[in-house]
Amino acid sequence: MSQTITLYVDGACRGNGKEIAVGGWGAYITSGSDEYKIYGGESQTTNNRMELSAAIEGILFCPKDAKLIIWTDSNYVKQGITEWIHGWKKKNWKDVKNPDLWKELDAACQGREIEWNWIKGHAGHAGNEMADHLANLGVDLTLEKGEKARHVPTATFSIGSTTDESKKKPEIDWLLDDPFGMDFIDAESEALVDDASLDALPENEMLEDDALPHAENHDQVTDLNTHTTRVIQGKIHPQIVITPATLDLHGPRQLILDTETTGFYYQDGDRIVEVGAIEMINRKLTGSSIHIYINPQKPVGDSENVHGISDEFLKDKPLYSDIADTLFDYLQGAEIIAHNASFDMNFLDMEFTRAGFKALSEVCEVTDTLAMARAKHPGQKNSLDALVRRYEIAQRDRTFHGALLDAEILADVYLAMTGGQVSFDMDALSQSTEQQAGQGPSKIEIDLPVIYASDEELAEHEKWVKQFEEKHGTPCLFSK
């Protein structure tokens, strides 16, 4: 007897990545008529750790012999446990974030039958919304109880939700019944797909890692192409420039970001006048970017000498409240990479909060390349210009500091600092490919071994050919 249990797991964190951060995890677990809601949390944590904790707690709550169908809106969890973990183990967990929880999750999965699925977060699916609600209850419980808290009732799964393995239909020989894979789904299989399962299927996108809810007035977000650029359905301000991706890449999103402002002090009323960010996945720029000029509703003052953006230029630009939903949807869930990141994040947090959204730092991880450079090059100048010279990055005209230009430069610096390839000479690459094509194929002589079918395999083949002819009334290709 094997029981099938469905789990929706989610994490939440208020003040993600900060010392005062408080996180929560939640798991909504159903099996037949059984329903369980478990949640908990801890302080000084991150959203990713809570996503992992939700999966661990949910799995350990279930009987070990049950089949588990797990839905998570975190690609960090789904891809980590199904793909990346194998490489991490081979490298003995070197340079892996949250190795303690990954080891716990790996141990919890051992000996279990688990089907992992990704679901679009905060898209209205009841199971995912319940898991998110439970995760936030975990935050509240932690704030009430102290550093760490759990609410986990006793599990009493009923026998009625089990299925008899002996009654399962035998596996179908798809080649015998559908030799070219062209037959339509039969009525019996079609009946197995209900509306709820269709709603739960991912929409060919894996990108949103750890997305959290924000202001209720945001538009629906869908992928323009698989895994990368997203376009907000509905009305977008005409002065928001979103460039679609030219590469279809899989993996967590990193956004190299820069802002320009009216001054240095967000506490004193300075505002953002420009935002630029470019997308990177697996250390490759996808071609996707977002660029916006913003009317700060105050004079730019002396900052014009830095970025060259004048009051006259900005007077017909949108207010931050006009573009906040589009910008938030583009940025949320990604790892933000910025030079002197606290400056940019303080301004962005302030602007999003004023517009009625969560602080961006609550829904994104942040990497500060200035802090990285100071650790790597102590006692040296670590401005963006200094790093460009140190790493021999191609020079660009930086008479004025533009947000998108600085983001592009920072992308090259980040890749150089972290030991990867900085850029590709596409013209040279194309020329090299053409030259190779013009040389024609090279002749390679290899003695390949010949493996003959055994008598038993030949007999099975003959049996299969006869079955095909009896069923379809005509010989198959193999017998012609």
- Binding-site positions read 258, 260, 307, 406
Residue at token pair 């009323």: 269
- DSSP state, residue 390: H
CB 41 within 8 A of CB 83: no
Please report which residue ranges of 201-358 form alpha helices under DSSP H: 304-307, 311-314, 320-331, 341-354
Q: What angle do CA 333, 338, 344 make, to 5 degrees?
A: 85
Q: In what order do the strands lie in the sheet with 240-243?
A: 240-243, 284-293, 272-281, 253-261, 335-338, 365-368
Write the single-letter amino acid at 303.
S
| Among 218, 401, 461, 472, the one annotated catalytic | 401
Closest CA to 315 of 294, 340, 343: 294
CB 218 within 8 A of CB 328: yes
Inter-CA distances, 58 with 11, 67, 104, 154, Å: 12, 13, 12, 13
Most distant CA atoms of the chain, gap in Å? 88
**H or E element that contains 451:** none
Residue at token pair 């990954």: 102
- Annotation marks residue 401 as catalytic: yes
Q: How far apart are CA 1 and CA 164, in angstroms?
A: 5
DSSP 335-351: EEEETTHHHHHHHHHHH
- The neighbour count for residue 239, using CB atoms within 10 Å, is 15
Q: How far apart are CA 43 and CA 151, in angstroms?
A: 16
Closest CA to 365 of 347, 338, 384: 338
Which residues does the annotation place in the binding site for substrate?
258, 260, 307, 406
CB 15 within 8 A of CB 362: yes
Which 3-state string (H, E, C) describes 422-444? Answer: CCCCHHHHHHHHHHHHHCCCCCC
What's the gap between Cα 318 and its chain centre? 29
Which residues does the annotation place in the binding site for a divalent metal cation?
258, 260, 406
Q: List b or e across 265-299, with b for residues whose CB sees 16 or more CB atoms inside 10 angstroms.
A: ebeeebbbbbbbbbbbbeeebbebbbbbbbbbeee
Just list the catalytic residues: 401
